[in-house]
Structure 1
Amino acid sequence: MRREGEDVKGVQSGGVTERVRQIGERVLAGDTVTFEEAVELFERSDYDVHELFHVANRLRLNQFGNRIHLCGIINAKSGLCLEDCSFCSQSAHHATQIPRYGVVSPDEMVQAARKVREHGASALGVVTADRGYTAASADFRQLVEGIQAIAQDGLVEGHASLGIMGDEEFRQLKVAGLTTFNHNLETGRSFFPKVCTTHTYDERVSTVKAAKAAGIRVCSGGVIGMGEKPVHRAELAFALKELDVDEVPLNFLISVEGTRLEKATPLSPLEMLKVIALFRWILPTKNIFICAGRAHLGELQSMIFFAGASGMMVGDFLTTKNRSVSDDLKMLHGLGLEFGESLLALERQAATAAI
C-alpha cells in the first residue's frame, strides 16, 4: 500500500532502485549482468544512478586497486582517409579544417614516446586514420620501424591503431615489439551501418581476432553519443565481452564542424558517468579508460574513476585538444591515485608472483 503523501512515481522509482541494487550485489559476488538487464539499465532513468557508481567503483578497486593506467597518442598520419565514418574529422568525405600529412618518421614517434613518458603515461599509441595497410606498403614498413624504435628506446610500450589488417601485418608488428593493438568496434553491430558504409562490422571483428591470434593484446571500444540507442550501447559492451578484449577505450563524441555529426548534442555528464559505470558492470576485469570527449564532464572529470574507469588518455587527441596534462596530474595526485606502471608489466608481475 502506498503511504500517504507518496506518489506513484516515487514508489516505482524506489522499486527499480532496489532491483538495481540487487543486480549490483550479484555482480559484486561474481555473477554477470544479462544482456536484457544491461539494456534495461542503459535505457531506464527512473532509478538512483549512484547505485551504479557504488558497485562500479568497488569493481574497479577489486581489480586495479588505486592504480590508474595513463596513455598518450601521436597522430602519425593525418587526413584524407577514404573511409566515411560519420564522426571522423580525418575522413576525405568531410570538409574539416585539420592538418594533412603523411606518415611521420620513426624519430618523431620516439620523441612522442618520450614526451608521454614525461606526462606519466606508460604507453604511446601510434595512430593513423586509414582503412589499413598491407605488409608490402612503404607506409607500413615505416610504421613498423617506428614501433621497433619505440620498443628499443624502452621508455614506454609501443601501441598502435592502424586500421584493418591481417595475419602477416600482425606478425611483423609483433616481431617489432608491438604489445597492444587498438581497433575500436565503434558502436553496436545493428547501429554500425549508420556510422560507416565503406567497410563492415565483420571486418573490424576479424581484425580484432587476427591481432589476438598473433599474441598481441587488444584494445577495443567505441564512441558514445552518435545518436545510438541504449540497446546499441549494450550491444557494443557485450561484443567486447565476447571477444575478450584486454582494454576498452570509451570516447564521447566531440562534434567537429564539417562532419556528418557536427550538430550532435553532447550527452549530459550524468549520462556519461552512467555509461562508464555500466561498461564496468558488464566488463568488471577489463581496463576501461576514458579518451576523447572527457571535457563534456566539466568539473566532474574526477568522477570517471568513481564510476569505474581505471585509466584515461593524457595529452591532446588526434585532431582535437584535451585539457592540460598538468591539470590531469594534479587531479590524480589529489585523488591519491597511482600511475606510471604499464598494465602489461603489472600483469607479468602478478603472473610471476602466482608461480
Structure 2
Amino acid sequence: MTKLLIVDDSALMRRLLTDIFTAAGDFEVAVARNGVEALGMLAAFAPDVVTLDVHMPEMDGLACLDRIMVVRPCPVVMVSSLTAEGAEETLEAMALGAVDFVPKPKGAVSLEIDKIAADLVDKVRAASKARIPRSTRLRERVREASAGIRTHSGNGRASVTGSKLAPPGPIDGTGLVLVGCSTGGPPALDALLAELPADFPWPILIAQHMPATFTGPLARRLDRLCALGVHEVERATPLVAGHAYVGRGDADLILSRRAGSIVALPAPSDPGLFWHPSVDRMVESAMRLIAPEKLVGVLMTGMGTDGAAAMAKLKERGGLTIAEAECTAVVWGMPGALVERCGASLVSPLPEIAGNLMKLLAR
C-alpha cells in the first residue's frame, strides 16, 4: 500500500480526496488540515507521497513544501487553482521540489471532482515512485541533521543510468531541437536551458504537458532565468536561433510553412492523443518539413510514453535523439520508453544534456 498524506484546509476537499484514493484500493490515507499539522505527521506517518494545497492558514503550501524538502524529502503533488496567480505559485512549488501538480476543479468541487479523479490518482501513483534527487536542498538538510533533526530520503531506489552510447559527431547547417517533458519537467527545463548561451545556433521547440493557464507563466519564468529568449507559442511564430518556444497548453505545437518560412503555431489538441501539448505530434510535424538529419530530439522526465514513438522514428530516419538518464529523471517513463525502443542516440544525465547539444551543434 502507498502511504498518502492529504493536506488541505477544506474539510470537504479532504473528504472527497480521501474517498477517491480509498476507492482506488492501493492507498493508506492520512489527512492534515494545514502545513503545521502536516509537518507534525511526517515522522509518525512516514508518507510515501503528499498532496498539498497551496492556500492554507497558519502555514501555506509553499512554506510547508519548503520544510518537507529539508526535513524529510518525499514526492509532493501540489493541488492548485487554474489562475495566473495559481500558475506562478505552482511553478515556484516545482522549483522548490514538488514533483507534479493537479489543477483544482472549477465550480462546485463536489460536482466537478470526478472530472479530475482519474488524472489525480495516476499522477499521485507516478509521484509515489518518483526519484527525489539526492542533491535537493542538500546544504539545508545537512544543517538540519547537524542540529539534531533526523533526515530521511523519500526514495531509496538505486538509480540506473542505462547504457551510454558513444556520442555522434557534430551536425553541420541549421536545424531544430525538439524537447519533450512532463512530470518533473519545469525544473528540468530550468536546468537545460540555463546552460545554453544566447547565441545557441538552433531554435528550440518545447512540448511540456500543462494546461494553457500554466504555459505562459512557464515561458516567462524560463525567459527570466535563461540567456535564450523564451516565448509561449500563441500564434504563428517564425523560428529564430537563440530562442526557445514553449507550446501553449491544452493545444498541440506543430510546424507549418508560411511564405516560404517555417513557423511554429498552436493547433487544436488531437483527441486521439492523451497528453498535450503532444510530443509525438510535435516531432511528427517537424519531420514532415525538415530533414531528419537536421533535427535533434530530447526526451526528458515524464510519466507515460509520449514522444518515444516519434523520436524512435526520427532516429531510424537519420536524426539524433537524447534520452534523459534514469539517474536524474524524476519519472523515467517517457525517456525510458525511448530507450526501450532502442530510439536513443545518447542516454545522458540532465546536467550533461546542454553540453552534449553544444558539442553536437558545434561548427
TM-score, normalising length: structure 2: 0.30
Which of structures 1 and 2 has the larger relative contact order (alpha carbons within 8 angstroms, sep 6+)? 1
Name the structure with the higher helix share.
Answer: 1
Identify the structure with the greater strand proportion: 2
> TM-score, normalising length from structure 1?
0.30
